[in-house]
A = this chain, B = another copy of it.
């Protein structure tokens, strides 16, 4: 019996795959070779989660991998109608990014409340200028996205004594439905976007929604860039409809040097790093190896994506 073929779409080496020696024939592909190799693979590991090649290369018919795993929380970069309609199982890296992203959101919220960006600017100018900072305890946050990441953000903000409301696709205990979003955004001091990118969430933060926010409120996006109509956010910041924002994700990544987003008043720009803490590649590799063990033993996989909805459902 020959070992299954594991095709890895990678841009840089993935740690921990050495543990699969003898258990898988590991081959590598890049965006240009993926289409040719896909029909010969039993399993596809999408390690280069910045690539959109899977969507384009997925075969309409004929042989294809039985299992696709992506080393990311979001699956928007690989889901296409053909993959969604097929019987191929898709899994994601659910669980790896929750706590780091929650800490990152707490860092941004506290930095904005304490006016740290201005403090750095003044330090560069060798200028001592006292300001009164904001208290975070007692403020209100609206967290959009009720998956593990959104729930971890809620826990982190609650630990800072922020009053939180969680919004998801389907109302449930402790989760508001989309119908409550405008009302919750209107009274929030912090609106945190942590939803998956789906047909329902594409462009959901638009001019109208920034318009319902308070002038003192701030917006944070750690989900996907396409959740936000970037021009609308720029207008909201420039016209001071809202007090500030922080974007870690963008419609087009990486941001190019000529992007206007680098220099919008009260906008913090970071390079899609909210979930990436030292050792994260190791954790992603170990997670895949664990899933591979289940797969080769014929046991049920974990983190199985609902391909119609575009995320792993349930708590």
List chain A positions with a Cβ less than 8 A from chain B: 99-100, 103-104, 106-107, 110-111, 113-114, 116-117, 119-123, 126-137, 156, 159-160, 253-259, 262-263, 268-273, 276-280
Contact = CB atoms under 8 A, between A and B. Distances in A.
A268 B119 contact: yes
A133 B271 contact: no
A116 B127 CA distance: 20
A277 to B, nearest CB: 4
A277 B134 contact: yes
A104 B160 CA distance: 11
Nearest to A259: B126
Contacts of A123: 262, 268-270
A107 B103 contact: no
Contact of A114 (B103, B113, B126, B129): B103
B100 A135 contact: yes
B133 A273 contact: yes
Contact of A132 (B113, B133, B278): B278
Contact of A135 (B117, B135, B277): B277
Contacts of A121: 120
B99 A103 contact: no
B117 A113 contact: no
A263 B123 CA distance: 8
B130 A272 contact: yes
A266 to B, nearest CB: 12
A255 B160 CA distance: 31
A268 B120 contact: yes
Contacts of A113: 103, 107
B107 A116 contact: yes
Given A106-B110, A110-B110, A120-B120, A133 B100 contact: yes
A121 to B, nearest CB: 8
5 contacts: A103-B110, A116-B270, A129-B271, A130-B273, A132-B279
A254 B113 CA distance: 22
Nearest to A156: B160
A116 B114 contact: no
Contacts of A122: 271
Nearest to A273: B130
Most chain B Cβ neighbours within 10 Å, of A262, A263, A276: A262
Closest 4 CB pairs of A and B: A107-B110, A159-B159, A128-B254, A135-B277
Contacts of A100: 133, 135
A131 B122 CA distance: 25
B277 A127 contact: no
Contacts of A253: 128
